[in-house]
Structure 1
Amino acid sequence: MKNYLHALKPPPRTQRQRLTPDQARNNAGGFTFKVSDEGRFLRFLILGATEGTYYATEAAHTVQATDFVRGYVARNGPAALRLILEVTRGHRAPRPDATLMALALVARTADLETRRSAWAALPEVARTGTMLLHFLAYQDALGGWGRLTRRGVARVYEDLPLGTLALWAVKYRSRDGWAQADALRLAHPRSTEPVRHAVFRHMLGQPSSERPPVGQLLPELESPAPALRLIEGHQRAMSVTTDVDAAALMREYGLPIEAVSTGVRGADVYRAALETNGLTWLLRNLGNLSRLGLLAAQHPEIVSAVVTRLSNASALRRGRVHPLDVLKAQLVYAQGRGVRGSHVWTPAPAVIDALEQAFYLAFGLVKPSGGRFLLALDVSGSMDIGTVGGVPGLSPRLATAAMGLVTARSEVHTTPVAFTSGVGGMGGQWGGTSGLTPLNISPRQRLDDVVKAMRALPMGGTDCALPMLWAAKEKIPVDTFVVYTDNETWAGKVHPSVALAEYRQRMGTPARLVVVGMTATAFSVADPADSGMLDVVGFDAAAPNLIGAFARGEV
């Protein structure tokens, strides 16, 4: 009789056992679902894969991801290009490296029609001179310069607005062992515009005997072109010997700080750069501004101007500032020392507060769903290994806290919990009991306070079924469960998809599950066959609104 009963109702399978034939063993030894190839490619574009995880070394993780991307592009070139453009146009990725590498693969290995489309998309994906040179480094690694490569690169220089071309000439002179002059010599761009030719000559660095002197790049023109005026200002700035003179030229010609010699970049030059450089530069140089005494009580007008810029939602959107850019700036600036080098500074409290606000503003307007959320945050040991988006110090645990707070701020009815050790002790693959601990956090708390509270919790194995099991046991009404994890999970007596089905049956509600993957692995605990489950890429700038739309039933 016992055998018949087991046949009719077999015991639940643990997460170390395969639930369905389409599950695969993850790097931690548990069985989870494999994300679709399109989903995995999207994870790569947004999160990249240059860092390891707790269960996979940096080298192994990068090789696995790169091999997958190569294969995906070879099989689905048009789909790959479509996703690259979607991520670029939505400014969804925190760093451009993954999209540039993927575009280089499409431009090199896809079918001819798709390769041509990839080259046509290059100016849109490689928006700055630095991005173009990064792209060329990837192209060079994939092979030589063929006809499509030469024409594709030449078209960028031929079609670029003259003002932008001049800016590239003085701001993005070289990166990754490549210089703009290298690209011009290999691509041979053609143009009938005299001013464009003059900028090309400057970028090529021709000897002074072969080009007009400063202020006379094109003496035949009736009036000086704005593009040439920028180059003239750069040439003059490179010859001055004091930061006062350099700062005056920056203001006169609208020069970015990169157009000035590093030897004269003192306090006056940095002060001028606040007027001539963009928001991305500001985020990267807050430490330098404080180190030089500009963000101090003696300069309240500068502090106020910086706070105003950081708190301007429209400016953040125009500057294409990703939330991760802001979070990185906050992490580095608040610690009072650089990631590299020996520079130290005293952070300005008002600037730290402005960065906190800018982080949420950078996501844009998040439309709340009005539903009941249960946020389950993975705080296991694996979440402290590796980084998100290649940002030093931004572990998956810290990124989880940040993303969780975004949802908590937009959704009023939110219950946060953390995966912890149920009876104390360390978790991970070799021990520890899984449990849940309510998180006594407020959406108005500072991010560093939330992380501190999370780090104080006892780590255990991550059982992603526990949120549903706990809510069913306590009869807690939940419309949407949101689990933030690296998907390297193995603990648990039942699979999360089974726990969700049981919760739905017991509570009589079509509860949904969102799994936010914080690393670019190939796994997810969300069942792709269940329309009530959604796999989301962590730190996708579109993630908060996507979660809200899914909770409202619009996705």
Structure 2
Amino acid sequence: MKNYLHALKPPTRTQRQRLTPDQARNNAGGFTFKVSDEGRFLRFLILGTEGGTYYATEAAHTVQATEFVRGYVARNGPAALRLILEVVRGHRAPKPDASLLALALVARTADLETRRAAWAALPEVARTGTMLLHFVAYADALGGWGRLTRRGVARVYEDLPLDKLALWAVKYRSRDGWAQADALRLAHPRSTEPGRHAVFRHMLGQPVTEQPVSELESPDPALRVIEGHARAMSVTTDREAAALMREYALPIEAVPTEARGTEVYRAALETNGLTWLLRNLGNLSRLGLLAPQHPEVVAEVVARLSNPQALRRGHSHPLDALKAQLVYAQGRGVRGSSVWTPVPAIIDALERAFYLAFRLVKPSGGRYLLALDVSGSMDIGTVGGVPGLTPRLATAAMSLVTARSEAHTTPVAFTSGVGGMGGQWGGTSGLTPLKISPAQRLDDVVKAMRSLPMGGTDCALPMLWAAKEKVPVDVFVVYTDNETWAGKVHPSVALEQYRQRMGIPARLVVVGMTATAFSIADPADAGMLDVVGFDAAAPNLIGAFARGEV
């Protein structure tokens, strides 16, 4: 009789036992569902592999991910290109490197038609000179400079607006062992425009014309930035350099390093973009520009950081603002010995920038349980290459975005409890109710997360706890690395038990904080959704799923 009953209703399996044939063993030894190839490719594009994971070093994680991307591109070149462009056009990824690498693989290894489409998309993906040189390095590492490669790179130089090309010539002269001159010599771009030829000559270290630009009868306006750069390279004081920056609209990269003093940084606030500003708040403070004695500078910076249009024009990702806030608020640089006194108004403006960088989130009105995985595996590695931003801390930032848009949220942190199953059979629940609210400052929430206890990973706990405590939940949002292994019940089983006990058709959103191949979301259950952590589109995807639109 026992065998017959087991056949009709199998006994509960622990997370270290396979629940269904389509499950796979994750890096921690537990069984979870494999993310679809498209989903895993999207995770790579958005999260990359910087920092590695608890179970894999950065190098090993990168090799594993890159091998998968190679295979995916070989099998699904057109789909890979579509996803790359979706991520780029939606400004969904904090860094461009993963998309540039993926595009290089498509451009070099897919079928001929898809390769041509990839080269046509290069100017859109490589928006800056730095990005182009990164792409060139990836393409070169994949072997040789054939006709498609030469023409694809050449077209970027041939078609780029001349004023933008001139800016590249003085701002992005070289990156990571590659110079614009190297790419030009290999690509051989062609043009009938005298101004474009002049910029090419400057990139190659040759005289722009036979006479100075200022003496030309009718110089191309785009050449003014090159003239200004040439004059700036001979200045001896930062005051002279700052005057030239304003006269010629020069970026700070166009003046010598030794001339970059206080006056130059003040001018750079006028001539450089928002990305530069986010990266140089510490320098501006160290030089005394961001300080109470300069209220006009503080007000200018606050206004720029709080401007949604400026954030969009600068293609700012939420992680850019979060990184800037974490570094600036601590009052010291990540590298070197730079120290400064943070200005509270700047910290507050960076927090606003973080939320503004996400698209406007339409609330669903549902009851949310925001469950943050604080197990040991979530405290290793970094998200988006941001120093100190572990997956554990990143979950706090992501959860606050939903908490600000939804009126009914219950935030909890979870790790494996002692005594079993979220306190269902006694023992420690493993859950810590979080006293966080949208009104709190983000850096305060991050500090609170650092003090929480760590343990093994049991992603079933949020559902088990909510069922035991009879907490009504429409949407469980679990922020995790999916390396669950410690529980006696699989998360998908725990969700189904919650639905039956509470009579609520609860949904589960799994926010994957690392670019692994695993998810606790059962692909066969329409009430479960897997999304990518720090995808700028994630909060809206969560809301749409909660409303039944996805």
1:542-553 alignment, distance < 5 Å: 542-553=537-548
> Which amino acid counterpart does residue 27 of structure 1 have in structure 2?
N
Pick aligned residue for 2:239 from 240, 244, 247: 244
Partner of 1:514, secondary structure, is strand
Deviation at 1:37, TM superposition (A): 0.3
- Is it true that 1:139 corresponds to 2:134 in the alignment? no
Question: Residues 52-91 of structure 1 correspond to what in structure 2 (within 5 A)?
Answer: 52-91=52-91
Letter in 2 for 1:286: L
Letter in 1 for 2:228: G
Shift of 1:364: 2.4
How far 1:7 sits from its partner (Å)? Answer: 3.0
Asked whether 1:280 is paired with 2:278, we answer: no
Matched position secondary structure for 1:457: coil
- Give the Cα–Cα distance (whole angstroms) in 1 for the partners of residues 212 and 329 of structure 2: 43
Task: Report deviation, 1:481.
Answer: 0.4
What is the aligned partner in structure 1 of residue 176 from structure 2?
176
Three-state SS of the structure 1 residue aligned to 2:144 is: coil
- Whichever residue aligns with residue 215 of structure 1, its letter is V
Of residues 65-74 and 48-57 in structure 1, the stretch that sits farther from structure 2 once superposed is 48-57
Give the structure 1 partner of residue 423 of structure 2: none
Report if aligned partners of 2:396, 2:445 keep a CA contact under 8 Å in 1: yes
Task: Give the CA deviation at 1:15.
Answer: 0.6
In the alignment, which residue of structure 2 is the partner of 1:211? 209
* Superposed displacement of residue 326, structure 1: 0.6
User: What is the TM-score when the length of structure 2 is the normalising length?
Assistant: 0.97
Deviation at 1:144, TM superposition (A): 1.0
Determine helix, strand or coil for the equivalent of 2:509. strand
Please name the residue that 2:130 is paired with.
130
Further displaced range: 80-89 or 190-199: 190-199
Residues 379 and 455 in structure 1, CA contact (< 8 A), matched pair in contact too = no
Give the corresponding residue for 1:377: 372
Name the CA distance, whole Å, in 2 between partners of 1:420 and 1:497.
17
Q: Where in structure 2 are the equivalents of 1:191-270 lying within 5 Å?
A: 191-206=191-206, 208=207, 211-216=209-214, 219=216, 222-270=217-265
Between the two proteins, what is the percent identity of the paired residues? 88
Pick which of 436-445 and 87-96 moved more: 436-445
Contact 1:463 1:489 in 2 (8 A): yes
Q: What is the identity, as a one-letter code, of the residue corresponding to 1:213?
A: Q
Q: CA deviation at 1:516?
A: 0.2
The reply to whether residue 11 of structure 1 matches residue 11 of structure 2 is yes
Distance 1:239 1:370 in 2: 62
Which residue type is aligned with residue 481 of structure 1?
A: F
Matched, 1:495 2:484: no
Per the alignment, residue 424 of structure 2 pairs with none
Give the match for residue 414 of structure 1: 409
Structure 1 residue 176, shift from structure 2 partner = 1.2
Q: TM-score, normalised by structure 1?
A: 0.96
Report the 3-state secondary structure (helix = DSSP H, G, I; strand = E; otherwise coil) of the residue aligned with 1:32.
strand
Residue 422 of structure 2 is matched in structure 1 by: none
Aligned partners of 1:529, 1:36: CA distance in 2, in Å?
A: 12
Aligned pairs for 1:325-474 (under 5 A) are: 325-423=320-418, 435-474=430-469
Greater Cα offset, 454-463 or 490-499: 454-463
**Structure 2 residues without counterparts, runs of 5 or longer:** 420-426
Residue 44 of structure 1: how far off its partner (Å): 0.2
Partners of 1:109 and 1:434 in 2: how far apart? 51
Give the CA deviation at 1:504: 1.7
Q: Distance in 2 between matches of 1:312 and 1:513?
A: 34
Cα distance in structure 2, aligned partners of 1:276 and 1:416? 43
* Residues 25-66 of structure 1: CA deviation (Å, up to 9, x unaligned): 000010000000000000000000132211122222111101
Deviations 1:493-528 (A, max 9, x none): 111111111222222222110000000000000001
Is 502-511 or 492-501 further displaced after alignment?
Answer: 502-511
CA distance 1:461–1:138, shift in 2 (3 Å): same
By how many angstroms is 1:423 displaced?
Answer: 4.3
* 2:24 maps to 1:29: no
Cα distance in structure 1, aligned partners of 2:305 and 2:241: 26
Q: Give the stretch that moved more between structures: 399-408 or 455-464.
A: 455-464
Residue 474 (structure 1) shift = 2.2
Residue of structure 1 in register with 2:163 after alignment? 163
Q: Pick one of 534, 537, 550 that aligns with 2:532.
A: 537
The alpha carbon displacement at 1:216 in A equals 4.9
The Cα of 1:434 is off from its aligned counterpart by 6.2
Kept after mapping to 1: 8 A contact 2:416/2:486: no
Contact 1:434 1:463 in 2 (8 A): no
Whether the 8 Å CA contact 1:49–1:62 is kept in 2: the answer is yes
In structure 2, distance between residues paired with 1:244 and 1:451 = 41
Q: CA contact under 8 A between 1:485 and 1:517: conserved in structure 2?
A: yes
SS of alignment partner, residue 422 of structure 1 = coil
Tell me how far apart the structure 2 counterparts of residues 383 and 421 of structure 1 sit (CA, whole Å). Answer: 13
Distance 1:509 1:99 in 2: 40
Partner of 1:428: none
Root-mean-square deviation (Å): 1.7
Aligned-pair distance for 1:10?
A: 2.2
Q: What is the SS of the residue equivalent to 1:377?
A: strand
Q: Distance in 2 between matches of 1:460 and 1:330?
A: 28
Which moves more between the two structures, 466-475 or 386-395? 466-475
Contact 1:51-1:62 within 8 A present in 2 as well = no
CA distance in 2, matches of 1:201, 1:126: 22
1:97 maps to 97
Given that 2:429 and 2:465 are in contact with CA atoms closer than 8 Å, whether structure 1 keeps it comes out as no
Deviates more, 1:448-457 or 1:169-178: 448-457
Number of the residue aligned with 1:483: 478
Among 509, 513, 536, the residue aligned to 2:504:
509
Specify the alignment match of 2:305 in structure 1: 310
Deviation at 1:421, TM superposition (A): 5.0
What is the Cα deviation at residue 299 of structure 1?
Answer: 0.4
State the Cα deviation string for residues 306-334 of structure 1 (Å, max 9, x = none): 01110111111111100001111111111
| Counterpart-to-counterpart distance in 2, 1:503 and 1:26 | 25
CA contact (8 A) 1:434 1:491 kept: no
> Letter of the aligned partner of 2:113 in structure 1?
E
Deviates more, 1:248-257 or 1:456-465: 456-465
Call closer, same or farther: CA 1:263–1:68 in 2, change over 3 Å. Answer: same
Question: How far apart, in 1, do the equivalents of 2:415 and 2:125 lie?
Answer: 42
Return the alpha-carbon distance in structure 2 between the equivalents of residues 205 and 455 of structure 1: 51
Q: Where does residue 295 of structure 1 map in the other structure?
A: 290
**Separation (CA, whole Å) in 2 of partners of 1:37 and 1:148:** 28
Is the contact between residue 480 and residue 513 of structure 2 (CA under 8 Å) also seen in structure 1? yes
Distance 1:263 1:175 in 2: 20
Taking the aligned partners of 2:87 and 2:171, their CA distance within structure 1 comes to 26
**Structure 1 unmatched runs, 5+:** 425-431
Asked whether the 8 Å contact 1:101–1:135 carries over to 2, the reply is yes
- In the alignment of these two chains, the number of paired residues is 545
